[in-house]
Every structure is written in structure tokens, then in C-alpha cells.
Amino acid sequence: MKTFCGRANPTTGALDWVEESEEYDYHQEIARSCYADMLHDHDRNEKYFQGIRAAVSRVKARGEDVVVLDIGTGTGLLSMMAVTAGADFCYAVEVFKPMAEAARCIVEKNGFSDKIKIINKHSTDVTVGPDGDMQVKANVLITELFDTELIGEGALPSYEHAHQNLVQDACEAVPHRATVYAQLVESELLWSWAQLQPVEVGGARLAPPPALGRCAGAHSVCDVQLSQVPPGGFAPLGPLCTVFQVDFSRPVSSAFASSSARFAARASGRAQVVLSWWDLDMDPGGTIVCSMAPSWTYPQPQGAPWRDHWMQSVYFLPAEVEVTEGDELVLTGCHDDYSLWFNLQTQRLQDSSPSSPPSLSSRPSCSCLAHLVWNRPRFGELNDRRRTRSFVSALRSVLREDSVCLSVSDGSLLPVFAHMLGAKKVFALENSRMSKQVIEQVLEGNSLKGGVELLEVRAEQLSISDLGGEQVSVLMGEPYFSTSLLPWHSLFFWYCRTALAGLLRPGASILPRSASLHMVAVEFQDLWRIRAPCGTCEGFDVTPMDEMVQRSLDFRESREAEPHPLWEYPCRALTESCAVMTFDFTQCVPEQPISSQGSLPLTRVGRCHGVALWMEYQLTEDVTVSAGLTGPITEQGDCDWTRHRKQGVYFLRSPWDSSGDGRAAVSYSFTFEPSSGDIKMDFSVTSQ
């Protein structure tokens, strides 16, 4: 069945009515899922298998039949492990209907249909009894309900309900126990994701508004591949502490709880950030451990397991705290049913009175609005001094005493910079009232109120009267828009520029004056796993999962690039980088499509998994800002990516082994469709 859905177009800004199947969202969910990543996580699978075998053996040693409850079964892999280990029967619960269907196919294909029952429900809706979903309560509980924060997918309420209704009192749980670790650190890099820092503009200092400095920030966890933050990127102020332990074999509570770790500060510095990860003990003795620790905690970092479905967590303290080596510190971790947060108390050796503890029982929440307008990479971008210098330099080169400036970006400081640099008048279009209020706070906090007029109006609705009867001499943007997912979505600036053409003075400066789309063919160290076929996993045939994912990919109108922050996912360039399309912002959006074709020779040895794509913005003739590579590719092909923006990744249907002699090449074809703002792309590898 087809239906028409209204979708906001992030590039054109228009509301597009698209004819889609009622199963579109299902297919999108499957195509972008992390199931392949989990199935390729050999360390996870092996530890689960070992823990399941041990639990089944313990129950059998008691002379009992083994009845398993597998909550969040996914592909059914853990249920098949349980039956292989000797379980008599398994109830496998999966709430996502397409996955439940895939699990039925996989279980049947592997010959386990008589011992595994797939239940397509949320576990809290499962019933036990003669007419229920389960005939009897289980004595082995297997779950994979965890996310990077451990409890963010509702693990605690699910366990709480299971122990009350679905499992026996003496059940064995796999995993048996979870331990959450935390370490207090100082990190200029990480703290730049949480608070706006002062910046020098034209000899003057732009300070963050007081409300932002007092704000506890966003409550949501910052999940990150902490292995890619080098040890030099932070300074530990205390030891690695155990803050929580959860025994899953006993009744679990989802109520608020807190736990504190007391220690002496190991160094002086600014306590700003808590790094956190967790381990799973698959057995009561803790001999089978699946760890989420970052690679730099391992004696041999290259041997650390890689996974994307579970990463590490970064928590920001409500405010940075100056500590002195030897100070007695109390780090308190709190959790409710879905999230964790941390607070810090300090006590000087010479002072018997501890600092006043903040409220613990409620999650930190944003009171300044900035953390709701700017996500964490955006904070980092605004705090990037090098990037700011580029924009200030570009603005200096185009501003005149009589300049009338108009800024088109979301929550941008560019209009503030223009005012500080002496522009006659500065206007800024803001996409939301909240964003407008944040910039108003910046202006008021720096006694610049009235220097910038913020207009909560769309570009096509703006009139000359809104600008006080004056035409625009400098149209500027970063460009940054909160609705952008893929790099080229920022071409929304071009559509706004086109809508504003009638308000521009003849010869008006456009900043940036152009943008270019760049590409490079790459070999991923690990990211390829999220799209690699699974086939056989731990001895079980899971090809129905591959078939379902492929159907979902084919269901789309065309294959698409995906947004990924490539600084977290190391890759090697196998070709040189190349600008494949240029968009001239000094002109309006053309009516006809723009096309580009060509090829890049594979000049380095490696396995080509796909293509990385990003935008670069030419602010002026002399100043360019990259939203992708931050420097030249090394001779070995190593790439350094910006931490502020996501890049596009297009995975090849099949990887290509490059000999590096240049005889093989990645052919590309791009077409920019002005009517829709889409960039259609296709890649193939050919050899001579």
C-alpha cells in the first residue's frame, strides 16, 4: 500500500510530499541498524556463548530442565546458542516485527523451530500460563538490552518486570553482572563540547553569557569511540572507579539510585569530564568478561575488540571544579530508569567542610537553551579558534563602513562577529525562537544588545522593509543548519541566497562564495563491519538477515550515502582526494541539473570499502574552510578528519582489493538535481 508523506527537505527547505510504502520506516530501520555490527562482534558472541553454556550446565547440575527466556533476541542467535548448549526450550522475545520475522526464518533454517518460540511482543507484555505466551517461568534469563550507557534502552524496567513475572526466583542470568566504571579527567578537547569558550574578535573579547556558564547542560549521554581520543587528549585527576554494579540474577529495581567513590586527587587541574564504560561478567565468578573499555586501556591496544553498537560514554560535570593534588574528592554517580549522571564534591586537606553538594535526585537539564540549540559537535565547532580566525579574516576582507550584513545560518556567531568588526548594520535569520533567544543572550551578556537584529523569518518571506529599507551588501553563512544530516544538505544556504537575490545590492559579497564536494576512496579499519554480509555467525546460518537487509537497501529509490563522523572511524585513503562538484554561490541555483563524471586511480595497496564525501567552503579567494579533511593525506594514506561535522560514506556493494599500481580506478558519477536538492551518485571499480 502506498501513501503520501510530508517530509521537510533539508537542502531546499521545502515540504516535499513523497509517495512511500507503508513499510518505508521498517526498511529504513533495518537498513541502518547495527545488527551486522553485533553479528560481526566475535568477542561479544564468544563471551555470550561461554556464559550461556556455563549457565545451562549449572541448571542441569541441579537436575532441572532448562527453560530459557531471551529478551531482545534480534536474529535469534543467543537462543540458538542456548539450545546448542543443551537448553530444553527457549522463549525468544523481539518487539520489532521485521526482526521477529527474520528470527523465525533464521531459527527455522538452522533446525531449531521445535525448541525456540519467537514472541513478537515487548517483554513487559509477555504472559505466563496455560494460555499465555510462555507455558512456565524460565530458569535461565538471557538478555542483550544494553546500549552505550548500559541502561539507555530500558534494561532496568525490563529486568524488573522479568524478575517479577517471567523468571523463577533462582534463575541464572547471562550476563550475570554489569559493572560501570568512571574516571574523572580534565580535557580541553572534551570540555569544548559542553561549554562555549571566550573568543577574541578584532581585539575585543566575546564571552559566553552567564546563563550558559551556570547551566548544567544537556542530560543525554555523549557516546563516542573513546579509543580515538588519544590519552594525551585528557589528564586523569583520579583513579578508575567502580560506581555501579547490577546483579541481573536477582530482582532489579529501576528506581533512582546513587553511589559514591571517594579518592584523593592524583593531580591538580580542572575537573570537567567523567569518562565511563562498563563490563559484563557472563558468569558469577567473573571469569568470562566482556569489556567495553577503550583500546588505550589494553596492554596491546591493537588487540582490543571493536564495536559500534556499544561504545564509551562522556559525561560533563554541571560546572568545572578546580582541584589540587591531594584534595579529597567524592564522585557520585546517579541513575534513574534510563540514564546516568555524575556530580563532584571536593574537600581541601586544610578545610574540613566539603563543598555544597548539588541536587542528586534529578537529572541535569539545560536551563540556558544553548544545549538544546547546539549539539556537542556544534559546541566544538564554535570553540574551534582556528576556524573562527578563518571566518574573522574572511569577514575583515569584505566588510566596509557602510556594510549591511545578513547572516543565514542556525545559531551562528557570524553576525556577532560582523557587528564587532564594525559593520554598519547586521541582520540574522534564525530558524527558531529558541535559537534566536540563545544569540540574544550572547549579545546581552557582552553589552552588544541592539547591534544585531535577529529575524525569525524564512528567507523567501523576508522583505526590504524587514531590513529597514536597505539592501544587503554582505550575505554570509557558515553554512550550518540544524536539519542537515549529510554534508551537501548545507546547500540550503544556496537556496536561501537565491530567494534573497532581490534584496542584494549589485556586486554584493557572498560569503562563502562557493562550495565544493570532495571525495576519496578509502579502506576502513573497522567501520566496514556495519555493512558486511554476515552469512555464518558462530557456526549458525544467519543469511536471512543478510537477505532482509539487502531487500531494505534495494527498497530505497537509490543507494544512499550515510552520515558518519570519520574522526571516530580510522580509514586509509587509497586514492588522492578530488573536488568532484563546485557550487557557485555568487550565482542563483541553476534550473538545469549539474553533472560530473570521472575516475580516481587506486594508488595505494588495500581493500577499498567505499568512498568518503565532504564539503569545503571557499569563504573568499584566499580563505577556505573544510568540513572533512583538516590536512593533507599522508604518504601512507592516513587521514585527519574534523571532529565538528559528519562526512558522507558510500559503501561499495562489494569491497575491492587494490594492488596500488593505479591500474584499477574508482569511477564516479554525480548529478545535482536543483528541483529537489538531491545529489544522485554512483560508484564502481574498474580495472584496465
Pairing mode, if any, of strands 116-119 and 89-93?
parallel
Together in a domain, 317 and 336? yes
214 has pLDDT over 90: no
Fill in the DSSP letter of residue 545: H
29 found inside a domain: yes
Together in a domain, 91 and 167? yes
- The mean pLDDT value for 565-590 works out to 98
551 has pLDDT over 90: no
* pLDDT for the residue 93: 98
499 found inside a domain: yes
452 has pLDDT over 70: yes
532 found inside a domain: no
* pLDDT for the residue 557: 44
88 has pLDDT over 80: yes
152 found inside a domain: no
Of 224, 199, 239, nearest to 311 by C-alpha is 224
Q: What is the CATH number of the domain that holds 428?
A: 3.40.50.150
Together in a domain, 76 and 4? yes
* pLDDT for the residue 347: 76
Together in a domain, 202 and 347? yes
* pLDDT for the residue 213: 84
127 found inside a domain: yes
Together in a domain, 187 and 293? yes
144 tagged catalytic:
yes
Together in a domain, 231 and 197? yes
Single-letter residue type at 345: Q
353 has pLDDT over 50: no
pLDDT digits (tens, 9 = 90+) for 112-132: 999 999 999 999 999 999 999
Handedness of CA 29, 33, 36, 42 (dihedral sign): negative
Together in a domain, 388 and 298? no
Which residues neighbour 520 within 8 Å (Cβ) at sequence distance 6 or greater? 573, 575, 576, 577, 578, 600, 611, 612, 629, 633, 639
Distance CA 195, CA 67 (A): 51
557 found inside a domain: no
Out of 46, 108, 153, 576, the active site residue is 153
In whole numbers, what is the pLDDT of the chain averaged over residues?
A: 93
* pLDDT for the residue 21: 54
* pLDDT for the residue 194: 95
Distance CA 683, CA 673 (A): 18
576 tagged catalytic:
no
Exposure string of 12-22, with b = 16+ CB inside 10 Å and e = fewer, is bbeeeeeebee
148 found inside a domain: no
* pLDDT for the residue 356: 45
* pLDDT for the residue 265: 97
Together in a domain, 419 and 485? yes
pLDDT digits (tens, 9 = 90+) for 487-546: 999 999 999 999 999 999 999 999 999 999 999 999 999 999 998 888 899 999 999 887
Together in a domain, 349 and 455? no
Domain termination site, one of 335, 370, 405: 370
- The mean pLDDT value for 426-433 works out to 94
pLDDT digits (tens, 9 = 90+) for 236-285: 999 999 999 999 999 999 999 999 999 999 999 999 999 999 999 999 99
pLDDT digits (tens, 9 = 90+) for 306-339: 999 999 999 999 889 999 999 999 999 999 999 9
The domain total for the chain is 4
- The mean pLDDT value for 153-180 works out to 97
Cell matching residue 416: 556577532
Of 416, 417, 478, 412, nearest to 450 by C-alpha is 416
Together in a domain, 362 and 446? no
Q: What is the CATH number of the domain that holds 213?
A: 2.70.160.11
Together in a domain, 392 and 426? yes
Together in a domain, 354 and 388? no
Single-letter residue type at 354: P
Domain termination site, one of 348, 370, 392: 370
Domain that holds residue 675: 514-525+570-687
334 found inside a domain: yes
291 has pLDDT over 60: yes
Out of 94, 144, 149, 562, the active site residue is 144
Percent of the chain with pLDDT over 70: 93
